[in-house]
Structure 1
Amino acid sequence: MIQAHAVRLFTERGYDATTVTDVAEAAGVSPMTLYRHFPTKEDLVLIDQDQRLAAERIAASSAAQPLVRRIGNALIDSATTLTGDRHGGDLTANEQFLLARLQLMTSTPALRAKHLDNHYVLQQTIVDALGGDATDPDTAFRVQAAASACLAALHTALVRWAEDDGRTELPDLIAKALAAAFGDDIVSIS
């Protein structure tokens, strides 16, 4: 609820023009309560628990599949879970919230670096889910490279989604970006 108020205020007033106190007042909490949940102003936009979805999907996938397929399908499945399944209709409430957050992240210089930090966290989450902390350095490198490459395709899809105001369904954009990077047969929509 705090984060929803923050994103709304940042979108309406601008990120730099909105204070943490403004957000706390809008959410009906004290600034101290807000800081307990969101240690920095940037965290009001960027903190999410979406990484666990990708990790769960990867852990449930077959280890016999290529790494890129496991990661790519997990990213697509996670996006489907997060955005809902609208099939060309109006944006769902979750999509509207995610889109507003993403547009803030890409348009606000103060948030871009922190957004990149979130990608590193997601990459490590993916690596951990794939057992990339293995003692074999070559295996660990392959897992890190596959995760990084898939996240680059994800980033491209997210930027396009933000630029077109969410008109294209996010899972479809992610699948297209992955197919462009790795070939049409690498992603199998399940």
Structure 2
Amino acid sequence: MTASEPRPPGLRARKKAQTRRTIQEQALRLFLAKGYENTTVEEIAAAAEVSHMTFFRHFPTKEAVVETDDYDPMILQLIAERPEEEDTLTALHRALAQGLRTVYATDREALLIRTRLVLRTPALRARVWENQHTTEEMLARALASRRPDQSELATRVLTAAALAALTTALTLWVDSEGTENLPALVDQAFTTLQGHNR
């Protein structure tokens, strides 16, 4: 590459994503080894070979290392790609299931560690409702754009019920220490929900 040729598009974004992933991987490793409460931001930064300031450029708090993921844009894209004739609950189920299968195939262990930390660490568990509320609003907007004829109440209720089904499946998966098949649990949870929706 000559000096006059442009840098490949997205190189900076890829490097940023890699740094973020490295920080998160090292944080999860330390949380497993030392416990969440006993691990400091300074230790995570040192393990990831980044500065304290670089850590905070990627994650505003220690909690964010566990809570932050890149799944939302993928789920929104999958919702947008669902057939128009699908009802709200079916579209949400199939989008979430497809996204989850992708994550499960590539990041199963990290997902298990993060979910276990969230469910079993009081400081993180206290933030679940706030984070779930944000996700619910995001998904409800995406679903409303598919079905503008559906009332806001119906969309919000179905979205909240779907997230409750997903959270229940995740909880059972963590309780089994990951021995259960998470995609199958999610499908069972939605089958139960859709059975009561008829």
TM range (shorter): 0.7 to 0.9
2:52 paired residue among 21, 31, 46:
31
Tell me, yes or no, if structure 1 residue 113 matches structure 2 residue 126: yes
1:83 maps to what in 2? 104
How much does 1:23 deviate?
A: 0.4
TM-score by length of 1: 0.86
Aligned-residue RMSD, C-alpha: 2.2
Alignment of 1:160-179 (within 5 A): 160-179=172-191
Q: Residues 157-184 of structure 1: CA distance to partner in whole angstroms, max 9, x if unpaired?
A: 0001111121122111100111122229
How much does 1:52 deviate?
A: 1.5
CA contact (8 A) 1:2 1:27 kept: yes
1:158 maps to what in 2? 170
1:140 maps to what in 2? 152
Distance in 2 (CA, whole Å) between partners of 1:64 and 1:119 is 27
Which sections of structure 1, spanning at least 5 residues, go unmatched?
85-92
Deviates more, 1:119-128 or 1:11-20: 119-128
1:50 maps to what in 2? 71
1:6 paired residue among 18, 27, 47:
27
More helix by share: 2
> What is the aligned length?
177
TM-score by length of 2: 0.83
Larger Rg: 2
Which one has more relative contact order, counting CA pairs under 8 Å at least 6 apart? 1
How much does 1:113 deviate?
A: 2.4
Tell me, yes or no, if structure 1 residue 103 matches structure 2 residue 116: yes
How much does 1:22 deviate?
A: 0.7
Q: Which runs of 4+ in 1 moved over 3 A?
A: 132-136
How much does 1:54 deviate?
A: 1.5
Which sections of structure 2, spanning at least 5 residues, go unmatched?
1-21
